[in-house]
Structure 1
Amino acid sequence: MRQITVYHVDAFTDQPFGGNPAGVVPDAGDLTEQEMQRIANELHLPESAFLLPSDRPDADFRVRYFTPQQEIDFCGHATLGSAWLLASERNWAKRTERVVFSTNVGLVPIDWAKGETRLSQVTMTQIGPKVAELAVARQELARMLGLSVDDLDDRYPIRLASTGVWHLMVPVKSRQAIDHARPQLQELSLHNKQHGIGTTHLFTFERGTDYDLYTRDFAPAVGIPEDPVTGAANGALAGYLVLEGLLEQTKRHQLRIAQGDAIHRPGRLNITITPGEEGPIIQVGGSAHVTISGQLRLPAEK
């Protein structure tokens, strides 16, 4: 019998049962791809991250991400949760100031900030943002999302955006409209698969007492009806805001984004956008909470 240590980490929150839950398997070097997929299905969390020895001198770990249904190229909240686990449970914060993950989309460095007594935040630098146009009828998109076409905010463009995975950015007029969205998940899944889209990301500039933007994210194409708090999609949103000229490209911006409230898993992301020679640099940060740790028992290898 083999025993594998697994963790349930709630990301973008400092409380259990909030934010976005991720499975983290920090010692996955001996697992096969089939075993990783089966473990992700067994944990049945939106995504699980598996940390393997890196074959690159400029990375500390190779990381693979799985939903209960399939492998995906990148996952922001599982990245943050994995780095938080390494820093808080495996003493990496005492050894170095950062860890670098090698992922299917490239290198992702993660830095941690320490308060007087404990870890306070980890921040990932995502790969360079991109945007692209997608021909989609506003009325048809609104119908798939369970919205009125009048709920869509026509001051801002509907675009694809990516910091590693393509997300469909949908501007909405109000938080109330976003909270009332009831997407046709099967249709949305087929649409997103057809266009190579990972998730559909609703956002509004309606501010709250502790946030600048409010979002929801639907990912049925990868087996996740609603992703509670999405590091990758909100990083892509930050890139969209700058590349589409909604935020000035020559200035540094700091944003606080709220997500998860609609499904009673509130989370908060801190995003910094910094001008760079090759385009905007997107950093997504937050805290996490290790909620469960345990041993998964697997059959002995034959």
Structure 2
Amino acid sequence: MKNIRVYHVDAFTREPFAGNPAGVVPDAGTLTLPQMQKIANELNLPESAFLLPAEHPEADFRIRYFSPTVEIDFCGHATVASSWVLATELGWLAKSSRIVFETNVGLIPVELETAEGKLQRVQMTQIKPSVKEIALDREAVARMVGIAPDDPDERYPLKLASTGGVHLLVPVRSRAAIDQAEPLFAELGNLNKQHGITTTHLFTTDASSGFDLYTRDFAPAIGIMEDPVTGAANGALAGYLALEKLLPAGEQHHLVVGQGHAIDRPGTLYVTVDTTGQDPVVRVAGAAHVTIAGLMRV
């Protein structure tokens, strides 16, 4: 029997019991992949991150992400959580203000933003965004995500978008419609598996004061009914807004995204979309709170 350090971190919030919880295992080098999956299942959080020695010469750590049921290629909130643990619990901040993670989708650099020596936010630069057409009937999608037939917002296209994982972006007219959504999880999960979709991401510009966008995310295909506050999906959304010319080119855009309020886990994401170059660059930032630190006996 061996003891494994485990952290439970609430990401995209400064408060405990809010935002999106992630497991972080900072010393996973001796674990097998089946053990990582079993630990993620035992923690039963939306995703858990496992840090291993880097293989890429420019990376500080290899990171792998698991939902309770499957490994996924990239997870934003677990990246924020891992960065927060390294910086505040394990002394990384004393030697560097930058961490580079090697993921299944490529290198993810993270900047540690401080004030008066204290960590305030971490900001990850996600991989180059992409969008893809998908032939789906809006009314059928509305039925599966549990909103009314006239709730989808036809000003914006229904598309797949990615900065790592593949997300089905569903534009919705109002925050109220998003909050009232009651998905048909079995059907939605089958649709997502059929098209290789990680999550279905509802979004609206009808956000409350202080926010530019409001979102909600469902991921039954990977064993998560609802992912409270999603760094990967909101990064993909930001890339979609740039690639679909819904944000003016040649500028840096700063968006504040709210998510999790519908399930009493409110979180805030600070998203920068740089459209000054040939390809948009998406950076997603947020804070975190280490809620539990302990040992798991494996």
Instruction: Give the count of matched residue pairs.
Output: 298
Q: Distance in 1 between matches of 2:250 and 2:157?
A: 21
Q: Quick one: which amino acid aligns to residue 130 of structure 1?
A: S
What pairs with 1:85-104 in structure 2 (closer than 5 Å)? Answer: 85-104=85-104
What pairs with 1:251-262 in structure 2 (closer than 5 Å)? Answer: 251-262=251-262
Q: Quick one: which amino acid aligns to residue 30 of structure 1?
A: T
The alignment partner of 2:296 has SS state of strand
Q: Distance in 1 between matches of 2:171 and 2:147?
A: 12
Q: Distance in 2 between matches of 1:55 and 1:143?
A: 45
Match of 2:124 in 1: 124
Higher deviation after alignment, 115-124 or 74-83: 115-124
Q: Quick one: which amino acid aligns to residue 206 of structure 1?
A: D
Match of 1:8 in 2: 8
* Conservation of the 8 A alpha-carbon contact between 2:249 and 2:276: no
Deviation of the 1:249 alpha carbon:
2.1
Match of 1:27 in 2: 27
Q: Distance in 1 between matches of 2:6 and 2:89?
A: 12
* Conservation of the 8 A alpha-carbon contact between 1:97 and 1:111: yes
Q: Distance in 1 between matches of 2:205 and 2:176?
A: 12
Match of 2:291 in 1: 291
Q: Quick one: which amino acid aligns to residue 100 of structure 1?
A: V
Q: Quick one: which amino acid aligns to residue 162 of structure 1?
A: S
Q: Distance in 1 between matches of 2:170 and 2:84?
A: 30
1:141 aligns to 2:149 (yes or no):
no
Q: Quick one: which amino acid aligns to residue 6 of structure 1?
A: V
Higher deviation after alignment, 96-105 or 114-123: 114-123
What pairs with 1:184-199 in structure 2 (closer than 5 Å)? Answer: 184-199=184-199
Q: Distance in 2 between matches of 1:99 and 1:278?
A: 26
1:98-141, Cα deviation, whole Å (9 max, x unpaired): 00000000000000111115210000000000000000011111
1:20-44, Cα deviation, whole Å (9 max, x unpaired): 0000000000000111000000000
* Conservation of the 8 A alpha-carbon contact between 2:250 and 2:277: no
Q: Distance in 2 between matches of 1:84 and 1:189?
A: 31
Match of 2:179 in 1: 179
Deviation of the 1:242 alpha carbon:
0.6
* Conservation of the 8 A alpha-carbon contact between 1:128 and 1:281: yes
The alignment partner of 1:17 has SS state of coil
Q: Distance in 2 between matches of 1:14 and 1:226?
A: 21
1:132-161, Cα deviation, whole Å (9 max, x unpaired): 000001111111111112100001100100
Match of 2:39 in 1: 39
* Conservation of the 8 A alpha-carbon contact between 1:172 and 1:178: yes
* Conservation of the 8 A alpha-carbon contact between 1:12 and 1:267: yes
Q: Quick one: which amino acid aligns to residue 53 of structure 1?
A: P
* Conservation of the 8 A alpha-carbon contact between 1:53 and 1:62: yes
1:63 aligns to 2:63 (yes or no):
yes
Higher deviation after alignment, 241-250 or 280-289: 241-250
Match of 1:243 in 2: 243
Deviation of the 1:57 alpha carbon:
1.1
The alignment partner of 2:224 has SS state of coil
| RMSD over aligned Cα atoms | 0.8
Deviation of the 1:278 alpha carbon:
4.1
Match of 2:225 in 1: 225
Q: Distance in 2 between matches of 1:92 and 1:210?
A: 32
Match of 1:279 in 2: 279
Q: Distance in 1 between matches of 2:120 and 2:260?
A: 21
Q: Distance in 2 between matches of 1:210 and 1:17?
A: 21
Unpaired runs of 5+ residues, structure 2, are none
* Conservation of the 8 A alpha-carbon contact between 1:22 and 1:45: yes
Q: Quick one: which amino acid aligns to residue 288 of structure 1?
A: A
* Conservation of the 8 A alpha-carbon contact between 1:23 and 1:40: yes
Unpaired runs of 5+ residues, structure 1, are none
1:210-253, Cα deviation, whole Å (9 max, x unpaired): 21100000000000000000000000000000100111121110
1:150-204, Cα deviation, whole Å (9 max, x unpaired): 1000011001000011100100000000000000000000000000000000000
Higher deviation after alignment, 257-266 or 267-276: 267-276
* Conservation of the 8 A alpha-carbon contact between 2:81 and 2:288: yes
Q: Quick one: which amino acid aligns to residue 27 of structure 1?
A: D
Q: Distance in 2 between matches of 1:224 and 1:249?
A: 35
Structure 1 stretches of 4+ with a deviation exceeding 6 A read none
The alignment partner of 1:121 has SS state of strand
Q: Distance in 2 between matches of 1:237 and 1:275?
A: 14
The alignment partner of 1:150 has SS state of coil
